[in-house]
């Protein structure tokens, strides 16, 4: 038996796997087990499972390489316990090490420990799910907006409010399509973003037009110069898995103006920025709605109103946002 262990260890060493000195079989009940991995790199998986014996990958501390809320939920639902340093290895498991050249992880454990750890690795070794976030800037009267179950007393034109809209996506589009057909609503913009959990994605639109500016010079003289005035609108969002049927969204709606004299050079921002920052939960494939005078000022592609202008309550722009997880089968 001892010769077999030495042979296996020598093979892994030749494959470029450096084993700790203490990771040698000393008891008949412990042995090395090999498990191939497909979707997660062996070094990252080993670091997740056994950070005491594995250094973090070079970019391991980035949000992309941390355990996601969805992965943590899967493990906790399967009964695995989490400590301050991560998930506790099952009893009987001493080491988890990467065999990167072979795309495998090596587990030094008892047979019982390996049987307990294997389902945990299978849960982690899955392709990362992607999130899809859709936003709809809809111009619709306060009265007609009631078909979305948005209460009339909530639409304060001087404020921005967040309201859940308990409609499935198919029902939402059916109602919105009917309003558009009747000439009662208009979609002003409809960003659609796809990203991984905890990753930020941004949709940006720029409207540009030529304007004249007067340049004051010394000695006193005035000359006009043609420049591009750009109106920039951004919708940025970071989704996080928040439960079986919930997705947490952190998003910003930003709008500003900038002047660009030469296309190849950076532009110069002018005037104040208008922005709304929101953090909320949305039920999967359901909607939340934002409304108020500030939404009217943040419509993509339209000029920024002067700061001293009074709100225009006769116009009502509502931002509807929905999110869902994209499974692999959804993309086939």
Q: Are residues 118 and 139 in the same domain?
A: no
**Which of 134, 175, 195, 159 has its CA nearest to residue 320?**
134
| Last residue in a domain, options 98, 124, 150 | 124
Cα separation, 213 vs 229, in Å, equals 10
3-class secondary-structure state, position 19:
coil
pLDDT by position in tens, the chain (length 332): 333 333 344 344 434 455 555 555 554 488 999 999 998 889 989 988 888 888 887 755 555 567 777 777 777 777 777 665 567 788 899 989 999 888 999 999 999 999 999 998 998 888 877 889 999 999 888 788 888 877 644 445 446 678 888 888 999 999 999 999 999 999 988 999 998 888 889 998 887 777 666 555 555 555 566 777 788 888 999 998 887 788 999 989 888 888 877 776 777 777 778 888 888 889 888 998 887 767 777 777 666 554 334 444 456 888 999 999 886 555 44
Cα separation, 235 vs 220, in Å, equals 43
Q: Are residues 85 and 37 in the same domain?
A: yes
pLDDT at 220: 53
Q: Which residues are within 8 A (CB) of 9 and not within 5 positions of it... i.e. 6 or more apart?
A: 19, 24, 32
Q: Are residues 39 and 22 in the same domain?
A: yes
Helix (H) or strand (E) holding 203: strand 201-217
3-class secondary-structure state, position 306:
coil
Q: Are residues 181 and 96 in the same domain?
A: no
Domain coverage including residue 38: 2-124
pTM of the complete model: 0.69
- Structurally, the chain folds into a number of domains equal to 2
| Last residue in a domain, options 109, 124, 139 | 124
| Last residue in a domain, options 75, 102, 124 | 124
Q: Are residues 294 and 186 in the same domain?
A: yes
Cα separation, 305 vs 311, in Å, equals 10
Q: Which residue has the tokens 């994209």?
A: 326
Q: Are residues 114 and 204 in the same domain?
A: no
């Amino acid at each position: 038996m001892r010769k077999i262990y030495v042979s296996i260890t020598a093979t892994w060493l030749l494959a470029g796997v450096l084993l700790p000195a203490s990771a040698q079989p000393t008891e008949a009940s412990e042995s090395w087990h090999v498990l191939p991995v497909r979707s997660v790199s062996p070094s990252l998986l080993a670091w997740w499972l056994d950070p005491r014996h594995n250094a973090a990958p070079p970019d391991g501390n980035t949000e992309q390489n941390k355990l996601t809320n969805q992965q943590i939920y899967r493990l906790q639902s399967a009964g695995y316990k989490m400590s301050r340093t991560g998930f506790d290895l099952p009893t009987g498991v001493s080491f988890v090490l990467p065999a990167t050249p072979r795309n495998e992880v090596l587990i030094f454990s008892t047979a019982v420990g390996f049987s307990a750890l294997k389902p945990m690795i299978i849960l982690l070794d899955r392709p990362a799910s992607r999130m899809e976030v859709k936003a709809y800037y809809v111009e619709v009267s306060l009265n007609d907006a009631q078909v979305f179950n948005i209460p009339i007393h909530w639409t304060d034109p001087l404020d921005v409010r967040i309201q859940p809209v308990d409609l499935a996506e198919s029902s939402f589009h059916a109602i919105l399509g009917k309003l558009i057909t009747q000439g009662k609503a208009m979609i002003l913009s409809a960003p659609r973003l796809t990203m991984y959990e905890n990753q930020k994605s941004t949709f940006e639109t720029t409207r540009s037009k030529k304007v004249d500016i007067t340049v004051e010079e010394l000695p006193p003289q005035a000359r006009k110069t043609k420049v591009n005035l750009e109106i920039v609108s951004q919708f940025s969002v970071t989704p996080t898995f928040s439960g079986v049927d919930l997705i947490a969204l952190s998003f910003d709606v930003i709008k500003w103006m900038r002047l660009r004299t030469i296309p190849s050079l950076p532009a110069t921002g002018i005037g104040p920025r208008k922005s709304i920052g929101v953090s909320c939960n949305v039920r999967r494939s359901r909607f939340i709605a934002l409304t108020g005078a500030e939404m009217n000022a943040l419509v993509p592609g339209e000029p920024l109103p002067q700061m001293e202008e009074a709100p225009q309550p006769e116009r009502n722009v509502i931002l509807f946002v929905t999110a869902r997880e994209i499974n692999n089968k959804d993309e086939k």
